[in-house]
Structure 1
Amino acid sequence: MNPPPQNSAQMPDELKARKLHLNGIIVGIAGMKKLNARANEITKVETLTIDAIKAELDFIDIQLKRKGG
């Protein structure tokens, strides 16, 4: 895990950057599914991965609300 930031004012920016990155991963997964027509069904691993990313996004939203970001 990453060490906590030195400046607490930087934390909302880091959380926002992480949120953008995780959203990009979800979009990338969706894009790969569209490109590969034979892989229309979502595997259990993909479902678990997407669920974990969404849970992390929810956690980031909570942290941003606490920090006022």
Structure 2
Amino acid sequence: MNKPPQNSANMPDDLKARKLHLNGIIVGMAGMKKLNARENKDTKVERLTIDAIQAELGFIDHQMKRKEG
């Protein structure tokens, strides 16, 4: 996958799109949990996935703040 240049003008738009996508994944995972009410606890893989997505969201927020200021 090719990374955009660091000084790309559309980088904030790319970050916003990625953030929306990752939030959608988390919401989708939560929706599946509601459908499967009997298995209401997270598996280790689900917990690791959620933690990784949240870490990526934090990194995206950091990059966006850096680009704004």
TM-score under structure 2 normalisation?
0.90
Q: Which has the higher helix share?
A: 1
What is the aligned-residue RMSD (CA, Å)?
Answer: 1.8
- Which residue matches 2:19? 19
Amino acid in structure 2 at the alignment position of 1:24: G
Which portions of structure 1, spanning 4 or more consecutive aligned residues, are displaced by more than 3 angstroms?
none
Greater relative contact order (CA < 8 Å, ≥ 6 in sequence): 1
Percent identity between the aligned chains? Answer: 81
Q: Does residue 63 of structure 2 align to residue 63 of structure 1?
A: yes
**Structure 2: tracts of 5 or more residues without a match:** none
Q: 1:43 offset after TM fit, Å? A: 0.2
**Structure 1: tracts of 5 or more residues without a match:** none
TM-score under structure 1 normalisation?
0.90
